[in-house]
Amino acid sequence: MQFLSEEFVSQWATMQRPLLGKATGLVVVKIDGAPEGKIAITAELENGLITNAYLGSGRGRDLELTIPYGLATDLFLHNADPAAEYMKGRLKMSGDMELWLELLPAWRERAVNGEQSDLVTKTAF
Protein backbone atom coordinates (compact mmCIF):
# COMPACT_ATOMS: atom_id res chain seq x y z
CA MET A 1 0.00 0.00 0.00
CA GLN A 2 1.18 3.52 -0.74
CA PHE A 3 2.31 5.78 2.14
CA LEU A 4 -0.39 8.36 2.97
CA SER A 5 -2.97 6.74 0.70
CA GLU A 6 -6.55 6.32 1.90
CA GLU A 7 -5.84 2.64 2.66
CA PHE A 8 -2.70 3.57 4.60
CA VAL A 9 -4.47 6.22 6.70
CA SER A 10 -7.33 3.82 7.41
CA GLN A 11 -4.96 1.11 8.68
CA TRP A 12 -2.80 3.62 10.57
CA ALA A 13 -5.90 4.96 12.34
CA THR A 14 -6.76 1.56 13.81
CA MET A 15 -3.26 0.66 15.03
CA GLN A 16 -2.65 0.01 18.70
CA ARG A 17 -0.19 2.58 20.03
CA PRO A 18 0.84 4.10 23.34
CA LEU A 19 -1.19 7.04 24.59
CA LEU A 20 -0.23 10.47 23.32
CA GLY A 21 -0.36 12.03 26.75
CA LYS A 22 -3.86 13.14 27.68
CA ALA A 23 -4.34 15.12 24.49
CA THR A 24 -7.86 15.77 23.22
CA GLY A 25 -8.56 17.70 20.04
CA LEU A 26 -8.68 17.75 16.27
CA VAL A 27 -5.25 17.75 14.61
CA VAL A 28 -4.75 18.40 10.91
CA VAL A 29 -1.40 17.53 9.34
CA LYS A 30 -0.63 19.15 5.99
CA ILE A 31 2.08 17.40 4.00
CA ASP A 32 3.75 19.24 1.12
CA GLY A 33 5.62 17.65 -1.76
CA ALA A 34 4.02 14.19 -1.76
CA PRO A 35 3.99 12.33 -5.09
CA GLU A 36 0.23 13.07 -5.25
CA GLY A 37 0.77 16.73 -4.36
CA LYS A 38 -0.37 18.33 -1.12
CA ILE A 39 -2.06 15.96 1.35
CA ALA A 40 -4.02 16.71 4.51
CA ILE A 41 -4.73 14.14 7.20
CA THR A 42 -7.03 14.74 10.14
CA ALA A 43 -6.66 12.88 13.43
CA GLU A 44 -9.23 13.03 16.21
CA LEU A 45 -7.67 12.58 19.65
CA GLU A 46 -9.52 11.82 22.84
CA ASN A 47 -7.64 11.46 26.13
CA GLY A 48 -4.43 10.53 24.31
CA LEU A 49 -6.00 8.02 21.91
CA ILE A 50 -6.41 8.51 18.19
CA THR A 51 -10.09 7.66 17.80
CA ASN A 52 -10.35 8.44 14.08
CA ALA A 53 -8.11 9.53 11.21
CA TYR A 54 -8.92 10.28 7.60
CA LEU A 55 -7.65 12.02 4.48
CA GLY A 56 -8.80 15.60 4.24
CA SER A 57 -8.71 18.73 6.32
CA GLY A 58 -11.15 18.58 9.23
CA ARG A 59 -13.11 21.69 10.15
CA GLY A 60 -12.77 23.16 13.61
CA ARG A 61 -9.19 21.97 14.02
CA ASP A 62 -7.44 22.71 17.27
CA LEU A 63 -3.94 22.18 15.95
CA GLU A 64 -2.40 22.29 12.48
CA LEU A 65 0.99 20.82 11.61
CA THR A 66 2.76 21.44 8.31
CA ILE A 67 5.63 19.21 7.18
CA PRO A 68 7.41 18.25 3.96
CA TYR A 69 6.82 14.75 2.56
CA GLY A 70 10.39 13.59 3.29
CA LEU A 71 10.01 14.52 6.94
CA ALA A 72 6.62 12.77 7.14
CA THR A 73 8.35 9.62 5.88
CA ASP A 74 11.21 9.99 8.38
CA LEU A 75 8.80 10.55 11.27
CA PHE A 76 6.76 7.47 10.33
CA LEU A 77 9.95 5.38 10.12
CA HIS A 78 11.18 6.79 13.47
CA ASN A 79 14.20 8.31 11.72
CA ALA A 80 13.44 11.83 12.98
CA ASP A 81 12.72 13.52 16.30
CA PRO A 82 9.58 15.69 16.03
CA ALA A 83 10.82 18.08 18.75
CA ALA A 84 14.15 18.62 16.98
CA GLU A 85 12.40 19.10 13.63
CA TYR A 86 10.06 21.65 15.21
CA MET A 87 13.05 23.56 16.58
CA LYS A 88 14.69 23.48 13.12
CA GLY A 89 11.51 24.88 11.58
CA ARG A 90 10.85 21.88 9.34
CA LEU A 91 7.75 20.91 11.35
CA LYS A 92 5.52 23.94 11.73
CA MET A 93 2.70 24.26 14.23
CA SER A 94 -0.22 26.64 14.53
CA GLY A 95 -3.17 26.57 16.87
CA ASP A 96 -3.61 25.37 20.45
CA MET A 97 -0.20 25.61 22.15
CA GLU A 98 -1.46 23.70 25.21
CA LEU A 99 -2.51 20.76 23.02
CA TRP A 100 0.84 20.90 21.20
CA LEU A 101 2.78 20.84 24.48
CA GLU A 102 0.74 17.81 25.59
CA LEU A 103 1.16 15.97 22.30
CA LEU A 104 4.81 16.69 21.48
CA PRO A 105 6.57 14.93 24.42
CA ALA A 106 4.49 11.77 23.97
CA TRP A 107 5.08 11.80 20.19
CA ARG A 108 8.81 12.40 20.73
CA GLU A 109 9.08 9.50 23.19
CA ARG A 110 7.41 7.18 20.71
CA ALA A 111 9.51 8.42 17.77
CA VAL A 112 12.84 8.25 19.59
CA ASN A 113 12.38 5.18 21.81
CA GLY A 114 9.47 3.26 20.28
CA GLU A 115 9.60 0.47 17.77
CA GLN A 116 8.43 0.87 14.20
CA SER A 117 4.92 -0.36 13.53
CA ASP A 118 4.16 -3.48 11.54
CA LEU A 119 2.63 -1.17 8.97
CA VAL A 120 6.15 -0.20 7.81
CA THR A 121 6.68 -3.57 6.08
CA LYS A 122 3.38 -3.18 4.17
CA THR A 123 4.04 0.37 2.97
CA ALA A 124 5.61 1.64 -0.24
CA PHE A 125 7.14 5.12 -0.27
Residue 59: partners with Cβ closer than 8 Å, 6 or more residues away: none
Residue 106's pLDDT is what? Answer: 93
Look at residue 115 and tell me whether its pLDDT is greater than 90.
no
Separation CA 42–CA 20 (nearest Å): 15
How many beta carbons lie within 10 A of that of residue 96, not counting itself? 18
Is 67 exposed, middle or buried (CB count within 10 Å of its CB: 0-12, 13-18, 19+)?
buried
* Segments making up each domain of the chain, as ranges: 6-110
Separation of CA 123 from chain center: 16
The per-residue pLDDT for range 45-75, each reduced to its tens digit, is: 999 999 999 999 999 999 999 999 999 999 9
The CATH architecture annotation of domain 6-110 reads: 2-Layer Sandwich (3.30)
pTM, whole model, 2 decimals? 0.93
Q: What is the pLDDT of residues 7-50, one digit of tens each?
A: 999 999 999 888 888 999 999 999 999 999 999 999 999 999 99
